[in-house]
Amino acid sequence: MDKSWINKPRLSQDYILGVENFLDFAFGKSKAHMMKCPCNRCSLVKTKSREDIEGDLMCFGFLSSYTNWILHGEDVFVTGNARIPSNIAPVDLDSTLNLLDDLFPDTSTNIDGGYEPGSSEEPMNTDIPSTSSGSCENREGFDEMLGDFNQELYTGCTKFTKLSFILKLYHIKCMCGISDKGISMVLDLLKEAFTHAKLPASFNDMKKVIRKLGLTYETIHACPNDCMLFWEADAEREICKVCEASRWKEKISAKSTGSGSENRKNKAPAKVLRYFPLKPRLQRLFMSSKTATHMRWHATASNNDGKLRHPRDGRAWKVFDQKYPEFASDPRNVRLGLATDGFNPFGTMSSSYSIWPVILFPYNFPPWMSMKQTSMILSMVIPGKHMPGNDIDIYLQPLIKELKELWSDGIKTLDASTKQTFDMRAAIMWTVSDFPGLGNLSGWNTYTASACPSCNFDGIGQRLLHTGDNEEDEPYILASQAKMVYYVADPCKEEWNIAVHVQPRDVYDMGDQNDSEQFDGESVPGISVTS
């Protein structure tokens, strides 16, 4: 059977006729209604119907390496220039291709359509508009990534390409906690063992490839006393403008020379905040058609029984929609929750160290997705050694700036499910923390009589007092300082009582008969005067 049509243009008459003959041959040989799709995108991994296969072949082209149609009824034979894929495209390559598709949505739909990196011809893609002003930079990065994807790890390797192997190795490094020096030694060993393999020269070269995936962060120097960030207008300052502490910590090492020892000073920042930009991470939620559809779940899914299964079923969500109808009009606008807490990364209590990650949760997702680890967005990592406390707002400045821009202006974002752009906006709906952390994040004073945010100023605060034998009271106080209280045993802590304040009776108010009868036969709690 003539197979020369495989490499011809998809709109040519020979290609269209070849697709029809191939489908007649494949489905005529088998009684099955579903077969492996040999298009460039599916790569014989996905099983589809005849109509779907025909559509994919017309859109994405025929897999050029699949010349022996052993999965579609043809006898097994191997020619000199025919290569049988190993069933037939590895999953690693398919997942890497999907990753490129997510990273470059306005370009990567033509990966399988015959586009070659570095070619002068622009890929034809009129369905998806360009959303980035730096399309040239995107094209350059896409060309480099696609070149690494198409490059074999070594001659004859069908399991890995250069890009898929680097991603797999970097994944192992992160999961196993291998140091940068350790992974560099592994690369040196692999290069020594496999001299013809297309491996990066060092871990730094490996990171250059990883950076093209957009998995980057910003390093912002901070005052060691949590006073300010050396950021934006203060980026060039050397000392803190509040406490005048140095931005740097000086490491002094002695280097021996023939004439003696000389001191060498190396500047290193005293504290470094690692910030992960929010806008590109929110845009990625819409780069996949599946997640883009889930981002509208809160508006499209119905609540038939009226039970509270998602924050959208609560009163706060509905009041927010009523107060900001313009924001609520587009269900794709992102509603976030912010959570933070400190932990000791060393896993031991012998060393006191507290590092604070700030994590965002997209509440647009269904309840079975929004709190999964894969849905969490790491916003920043606040360094230790001590907890930031009320100074956490100093470190939240980059995030707050982006949130203000996303609230007021939004950002152009491509919705892969509709292949249209829209102005994506975002808002923080809630913060998730323990009660002391509530005071740090929201500014609510959690240490006074009006500490409860639900009761607000309507509640009556009560202070716990210890009434043990070791308490010492000042016997001489002013009359205006005296208060009348009685003590009630605290049910949670032994030897602790709750002091209940009593309004002193006016000396001229002697009461009446009813007041006297109220206490007949009852023991009045002990009353004492305290300061």
CB atoms within 10 A of CB 440: 21
> Residue 113: what pLDDT?
40
CB atoms within 10 A of CB 282: 22
403 lies in some domain: yes
Dump pLDDT digits (tens) for 6-18: 888 888 888 889 9
Of residues 494 and 257, which shows the higher confidence score? 494
Of residues 184 and 74, which shows the higher confidence score? 184
- Least reliable range by pLDDT among 89-98, 333-342, 478-487: 89-98
- Least reliable range by pLDDT among 363-377, 396-410, 469-483, 505-519: 505-519
Q: Read off the pTM.
A: 0.60
Dump pLDDT digits (tens) for 130-148: 444 344 445 566 667 777 7
453 lies in some domain: no
The mean pLDDT value for 333-339 works out to 95
- The answer to whether residues 246 and 270 touch, using CB atoms and an 8 Å cutoff, is yes
> Residue 109: what pLDDT?
41
- Both 239 and 342 in one domain: the answer is no
Token pair, residue 35, equals 């077969």
**pLDDT surpassing 90 at residue 529:** no
- Both 415 and 291 in one domain: the answer is yes
- Both 433 and 294 in one domain: the answer is yes
Residues with Cβ within 8 Å of 111's Cβ and at least 6 positions away in sequence, in order, are 40, 97, 100, 101, 146
Among candidate residues 196, 106, 414, 134, the one with its CA nearest the CA of residue 284: 414
The mean pLDDT value for 314-323 works out to 94
At 18, give phi and psi (nearest 5°).
Answer: -65, -40
502 lies in some domain: yes
Q: pLDDT-based confidence at 255, cuts 50/70/90?
A: very low
Per-residue CA distances from 236 to 243, 265, 269 (Å): 17, 20, 13
- Beta bridge mates, 335: 427
> Residue 6: what pLDDT?
87
Return d(Cα 529, Cα 531) in angstroms, integer. Answer: 7
- Least reliable range by pLDDT among 41-55, 189-203, 469-483: 469-483
Return d(Cα 529, Cα 502) in angstroms, integer. Answer: 11
Dump pLDDT digits (tens) for 16-65: 899 998 888 888 866 667 788 888 888 887 888 888 899 889 888 898 88
- Both 516 and 398 in one domain: the answer is no
Residue that is last in its domain, among 184, 211, 238: 211
- Both 198 and 113 in one domain: the answer is yes
- Least reliable range by pLDDT among 38-42, 114-118, 159-163, 282-286: 114-118
Share of the chain above pLDDT 70, in %: 70
- Both 406 and 285 in one domain: the answer is yes
Which helix (H) or strand (E) segment holds residue 524: the answer is none
- Both 285 and 393 in one domain: the answer is yes
The mean pLDDT value for 210-225 works out to 86
> Residue 310: what pLDDT?
92
Q: pLDDT-based confidence at 258, cuts 50/70/90?
A: very low
Residues with Cβ within 8 Å of 36's Cβ and at least 6 positions away in sequence, in order, are 42, 44, 45, 46, 47, 71, 72, 88
**pLDDT surpassing 50 at residue 121:** no
- Both 253 and 117 in one domain: the answer is no
Per-residue CA distances from 128 to 17, 145, 295 (Å): 28, 20, 19
78 lies in some domain: no
Q: pLDDT-based confidence at 531, cuts 50/70/90?
A: very low
Mean pLDDT of the chain: 77
Residue that is last in its domain, among 382, 407, 442: 442
- Both 335 and 437 in one domain: the answer is yes
At 35, give phi and psi (nearest 5°).
Answer: -145, 165
CB atoms within 10 A of CB 180: 13
How many helices (H) does the chain have, and how many strands (E)? 17, 17
> Residue 464: what pLDDT?
57
Domain of 248, in residue numbers: 218-269
The mean pLDDT value for 350-378 works out to 89
336 lies in some domain: yes
- Both 281 and 203 in one domain: the answer is no
- Both 297 and 177 in one domain: the answer is no
223 lies in some domain: yes
Of residues 406 and 85, which shows the higher confidence score? 406
3-state class (DSSP) for residue 283: helix
476 lies in some domain: yes
The number of residues making up the chain comes to 531
106 lies in some domain: yes
What end-to-end distance do the CA atoms of the chain give, in Å? 103
> Residue 518: what pLDDT?
47
User: For the chain, what percentages of helix, strand and coil (3-state, to nearest 5) are there?
Assistant: 35, 20, 45
Number of domains making up the chain: 5
3-state class (DSSP) for residue 86: coil
**pLDDT surpassing 90 at residue 272:** yes
CB-count exposure of residue 370 (10 Å: 0-12, 13-18, 19+) = buried
- Both 383 and 523 in one domain: the answer is no
